[in-house]
Amino acid sequence: MLTTRHYFSALMLGLLLLLTACASQPSQLYQQLGGTQGIAQITDRFLVNLSQDKRIVHHFAQTDIEIFRQRLIEHLCVISGGECQYNGASMYDAHIGLHINQADFDAVVGHLINALKQQNVPIATRNALLAKLAPMYQDITYH
Amino acid sequence: MLQKILILCLCVVAGIHHPVIADTSKVIATAGATTIEGAAGGGIVPWAVINGYASTEQWSATAMSTLVTVDDFTLQAVGASLSVDNRFEVSLTKQTFDLDTMGGKLGQDIIGIKYKLAGELLYTSLPQISVGLQYKRVDDFTIPNAVGARNDWGLDAYLAASKVYFDAIAGRNLVTNLTLRATKANQTGLLGFGTTTNNDYHLQTEVSVALLLTDNIALGYEYKQKPNQLSFAKEDDWQDIFMAWFINKHLSLVGAYANLGSIAGFERQKGWYLSIEGTL
């Protein structure tokens, strides 16, 4: 006899299969960014843009840029749905004590947008990535 | 007088902990345009955004000139604004309203302030919410008085909520805005405030939506509800379809097709809106 529990189990199994199917291939956004190679190129352009901005470059005075670069690539990969592992601290923990204000955050967003444009990433892809990054504002600023 | 106040504001701002040179950290287009009443917004609806591209611990100044030509009238607005910390905005605007068919003209000066209460346009799930006040005074009360207005000055108060939805339609970002305004103004104040028989505030709703087709070109629509309280002639709500081009963070152009409805007995007032804005 089929009970409610059976139905529930079947539903969960179906959901699990669906999720597995989704997870088994890298997301569209990750691929649109050019995969890990594209993300690495975007990251490099972004870092060059940051380094040339006198308003914010002082925030990176104590930063090991090579490690920062690697974590950033991992993070963008994970956020965009790529099969990577992010080995860094949470966005909140990573920015404790840095006193990043809105002007800093705005400037960084501008540099990321420019890096994406320099890399010829289409506007829809750029906006899809920004949609995932913008909410990090609250974890990154003012603490 | 208006210029003196602005210069005074500039000096005060420069004197606090802000750098002497204006800065432009905000993302392009997030300053919006400037309304005919001087506040940052669309063309006729003030938004919760703060004018200019200054972010926190920065300041910005803007100057704008706008021309609206409909069938029987021409509105010109010139103004300037100063903003601090992406938090506070003060604006001064002079409007001249030529009665092309009837002859003569109306006009008003508007001093506006806006203060951001909560939220961030791009970054928080809560919309950016700002409160604003607009003190308006007509140049010459003769005509407003003759058509039944009570006062030659008025104070509008509004609460605006604005939010950008990323990747909303066809991968483009959508700007949405809702503004609630308490006002006694007839035709936004050009025909004075209140009536001889009624001096109540009216709560009006104003909305804007705009799609950023590119990073710096927006296509939008606005609707502005208005009171209809003078008995001599019907007053309609206003609406427009606009295209804004944020050429860079220092120069923007807005073109619009506006439908201002019935004004002072002249029906179906439609026409073009053109605005240029410079930002420091």
Q: Which residue of B has its CA nearest to A111?
A: B27
For residue A86, is it within any domain?
yes
For residue A112, is it within any domain?
yes
Please tell me the distance in Å from B26's CA to the nearest CA on chain A.
Answer: 5
For residue A51, give the CATH number of its domain.
1.10.490.10
Which spans in B138-225 are helix H? 142-146
Q: Which two tokens stand for residue A67?
A: 């490690």
Determine contact, residues B269/B71, Cβ cutoff 8 Å.
yes
Contact A127 B26 (CB under 8 A): no
List the pLDDT tens digit at each of the 280 positions of chain B: 555 555 555 555 544 556 667 778 999 999 999 999 999 999 999 999 999 999 999 999 999 999 999 999 999 999 999 999 999 999 999 999 999 999 999 999 999 999 999 999 999 999 999 999 999 999 999 999 999 999 999 999 999 999 999 999 999 999 999 999 999 999 999 999 999 999 999 999 999 999 999 999 999 999 999 999 999 999 999 999 999 999 999 999 999 999 999 999 999 999 999 999 999 9
Q: Shortest CA distance to B240 belongs to which of B208, B264, B211?
A: B208
CB contacts of A131 in chain B (<8 Å) are: 166-167
Asked if A113 has any chain B CB less than 8 Å from its own CB, the reply is yes
Please tell me the distance in Å from B253's CA to the nearest CA on chain A.
Answer: 21
Please tell me the distance in Å from B56's CA to the nearest CA on chain A.
Answer: 5
- Considering only residues 22 to 61 of chain A, which have any Cβ-Cβ distance to chain B shorter than 8 Å? 55
The predicted pLDDT at position B18 comes to: 65
Q: Name the domain count of chain A.
A: 1
For residue A51, is it within any domain?
yes
What tens digit of pLDDT does each residue of A95-130 get? 998 899 999 999 999 999 999 999 999 999 999 999
The predicted pLDDT at position B23 comes to: 78
Q: Which residue of B has its CA nearest to A141?
A: B123
CB contacts of A124 in chain B (<8 Å) are: 167, 170-172
Closest to B25 (Cβ–Cβ): which among A103, A127, A135?
Answer: A103
Residue in the structure block whose two tokens are 């003190």: B135
Beta bridge partners of B183: B202
User: Which of the four pLDDT bands, split at 50, 70 and 90, describes residue A23?
Assistant: very low
Beta bridge partners of B160: B130, B179
Contact B173 A127 (CB under 8 A): yes
Closest to A103 (Cβ–Cβ): which among B56, B124, B215?
Answer: B56
CB contacts of B122 in chain A (<8 Å) are: 109, 134, 137
Q: Which residue of B has its CA nearest to A104?
A: B25
Please tell me the distance in Å from B100's CA to the nearest CA on chain A.
Answer: 45
Contact A135 B56 (CB under 8 A): no
Q: Amino acid letter at A14?
A: G
Q: Which residue of B has its CA nearest to A117?
A: B215
Chain centroid offset of residue B123 CA: 24
Closest to A102 (Cβ–Cβ): which among B28, B55, B125?
Answer: B55
Closest to A134 (Cβ–Cβ): which among B57, B123, B170?
Answer: B123
What's the CATH superfamily of B2-279? monomeric porin ompg (2.40.160.40)
Please tell me the distance in Å from B37's CA to the nearest CA on chain A.
Answer: 27
Contact A137 B167 (CB under 8 A): no
| Residue B240, helix vs strand vs coil | strand
Residue in the structure block whose two tokens are 């309609």: B236
CB contacts of A109 in chain B (<8 Å) are: 27, 122
Distance CA B174, CA A94 (A): 31
Asked if A97 has any chain B CB less than 8 Å from its own CB, the reply is no
ipTM: 0.87
Distance CA A76, CA A40 (A): 9
Contact B167 A128 (CB under 8 A): yes
Hey, where are the domains in chain B? 2-279
The pLDDT of A43-71, averaged and rounded, is: 92
Q: Shortest CA distance to B236 belongs to which of B275, B195, B272, B270?
A: B270
SS3 content of chain B, % helix, strand, coil (to 5): 10, 55, 35
Domain of residue A134 covers: 27-140
